[in-house]
């Protein structure tokens, strides 16, 4: 764990909830540095980190199962505030002598809790005797609180919905405070972090930048670093931060793999060679990438092929430079978390195109990942702190594997060219209608089907293009953007008229639960 050394820290013990990352986001919104660790590594992390407070996350398990995950007893014995959320509340109650029952208490979705007593957790947010909407997701429930605890809120299906031991500063909530479906959840978390745990909220992007620069200098020394640029915000911010730390010891390598958006290569080269004067190697590798991807249908195989080819290119360019000691990349905190399967689930495969955790031994290089503690919106804030142009910092996220995962089925140059132009028209219209900044991510997809259509006086047999636009506050959950039909009709007409090879356009109106918001 590489945490911020000059700030008080909060540890989040992850029991496998889909929304654990949202807890970290809410905490960081209060200017408090937080880290997530899996329950099976929590004891070691707790002793190393020495946090000022701990939050226990939700999770899919039942405390009645053999080998059910629990928090280290050292957490309860340390004399620091602890907040349990959903399963975290149940684990706390079970470990401290309370009673948890299951079997007939399943509850998923919206519910209401009624405040039955005053508490520092509710101060200025919830009032005694009033009811408030929350988001429940549980099968078990606490039926007897541990000694020293009192019930401070109740609900029809969870009579002990919130518990408190004010003397020890232990609190537990059956509902999820971290999700937007609990409207006052962020304010309750703020009370825990600021009023109960006493954090000052001094973790800022300016402080992070200064500390990161020192950390990079200490790690790199006099070594040489190559940084892989993808065209996205993450790698660009990482490159500018590293350049500010070590100057010409950094060389950026931009791999033009043929899977970029329209005009992407020219924009990246202009920014780094012109605006920042950072040494940049522009590798034109479209033929190599498309050859290796030819005929590949499975998106996971595409990701792995692209990741391997990136490494091959970086390795070759390092040799041309006479060797490099470090490879820098724009790994973010979600990449790190999602690349570790805490509870045996599929999350280990989500970021398979990233080299999270290490590089092939043959490269003889170490990773520099200065953003691996940050979420996407924090990276944008850091980019602004570093002076990157807003038009670049505010761009919608772009996946590392590029358009390959927006081209379901085999990837060909013809399909990519169709996709590039359709995507450009779509984004151009979004900007023209002043909608770009209201949307977290918008993109076009070329579907692996053709349909019969009539254009003019002739029949066509061409591709279908799908459009996606989502709103999100954190990139973890997403809902479709509610365009009006006039806008969609206008965009579809432009694409069909201007992009040869397309005769139908559809809009995706599905919402996404926690996880990827890409379309694969």
Q: Kindly list the catalytic residues.
A: 86, 176, 178
What secondary structure letter does DSSP report for 324?
Answer: -
**Element of type H or E holding 489:** helix 485-498
CA 310, 313, 315, 321 torsion-angle sign:
negative
The answer to whether the CB of 257 falls within 8 A of the CB of 289 is yes
Give CA–CA dist 492/497, Å, rounded: 8
Give CA–CA dist 163/63, Å, rounded: 17
Name beta bridge partners: 255.
283
Q: Length of the chain, please?
A: 520
Name beta bridge partners: 108.
137
Q: How many helices (H) and strands (E) does the chain have?
A: 15, 20
For the residues of 70-128, what is the DSSP string, one character each? ---HHHHHTTS-EEEETHHHHHHHHHTT-EEE-SS--EEEEEEEEE-S--TTTTTT--T
Instruction: Give the CA dihedral 228, 230, 232, 236, nearest 10 degrees.
Output: 30
Give CA–CA dist 493/499, Å, rounded: 10
Give CA–CA dist 21/334, Å, rounded: 8
For the residues of 188-204, what is the DSSP string, one character each? HHHIIIIIIS-------
């Amino acid at each position: 764990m590489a945490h911020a050394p000059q700030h008080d820290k909060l540890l989040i013990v992850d029991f496998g909830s889909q929304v654990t990352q949202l807890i970290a986001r809410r905490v960081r919104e209060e200017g408090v540095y937080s880290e997530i660790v899996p329950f099976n590594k929590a004891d070691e992390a707790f002793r190393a980190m020495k946090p000022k407070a701990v939050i226990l996350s939700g999770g899919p398990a039942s405390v009645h199962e053999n080998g059910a995950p629990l928090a280290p007893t050292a957490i309860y014995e340390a004399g620091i505030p602890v907040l349990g959320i959903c399963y975290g509340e149940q684990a706390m109650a079970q470990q401290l002598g309370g009673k948890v029952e299951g079997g007939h208490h399943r509850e998923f979705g919206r519910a209401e809790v009624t405040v039955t007593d005053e508490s520092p957790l509710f101060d200025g947010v919830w009032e005694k005797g009033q009811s408030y909407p929350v988001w429940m997701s549980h099968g078990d429930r606490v039926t007897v609180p541990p000694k020293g605890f009192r019930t401070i809120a109740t609900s029809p299906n969870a009579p002990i919905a919130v518990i408190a031991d004010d003397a020890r500063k232990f609190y537990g909530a059956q509902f999820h405070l971290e999700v937007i479906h609990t409207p006052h959840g962020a304010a309750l978390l703020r009370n825990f972090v600021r009023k109960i745990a006493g954090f000052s909220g001094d973790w800022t992007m300016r402080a992070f930048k200064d500390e990161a620069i020192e950390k990079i200098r200490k790690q790199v020394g006099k070594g040489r670093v190559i940084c892989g640029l993808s065209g996205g915000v993450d790698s660009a911010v990482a490159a500018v931060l590293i350049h500010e730390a070590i100057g010409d010891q950094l060389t950026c390598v931009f791999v033009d793999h043929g899977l970029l958006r329209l005009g992407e290569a020219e924009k990246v080269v202009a920014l780094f060679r012109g605006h920042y004067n950072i040494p940049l190697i522009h590798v034109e590798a479209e033929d190599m990438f498309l050859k290796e991807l030819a005929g590949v249908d499975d998106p996971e195989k595409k990701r792995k092929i692209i990741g391997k080819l990136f490494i091959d290119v970086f390795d070759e360019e390092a040799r041309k430079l006479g060797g490099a000691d470090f490879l820098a990349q724009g790994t973010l905190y979600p990449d790190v978390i999602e690349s570790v399967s805490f509870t045996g689930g599929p999350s280990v495969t989500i970021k398979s195109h990233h080299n999270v955790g290490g590089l092939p031994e043959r490269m003889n290089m170490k990773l520099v990942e200065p953003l691996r503690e940050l979420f996407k919106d924090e990276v944008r804030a850091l980019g602004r702190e570093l002076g990157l142009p807003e038009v670049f910092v505010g761009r919608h996220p772009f996946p590392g594997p590029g358009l390959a995962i927006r081209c379901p089925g085999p990837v060909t140059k013809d399909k990519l060219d169709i996709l590039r132009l359709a995507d450009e028209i779509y984004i151009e219209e979004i900007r023209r209608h002043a909608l770009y900044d209201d949307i977290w991510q918008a993109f076009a997809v070329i579907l692996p089907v053709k349909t019969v259509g009539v254009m003019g006086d002739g029949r066509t047999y061409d591709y279908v293009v799908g459009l996606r636009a989502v709103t999100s506050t954190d990139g973890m959950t997403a809902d479709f953007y509610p365009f009006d039909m006039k806008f969609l009709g206008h965009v579809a007409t432009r694409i069909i008229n201007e992009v040869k090879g397309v005769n139908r356009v559809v809009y995706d109106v599905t919402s996404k639960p926690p996880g990827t918001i890409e379309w694969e």
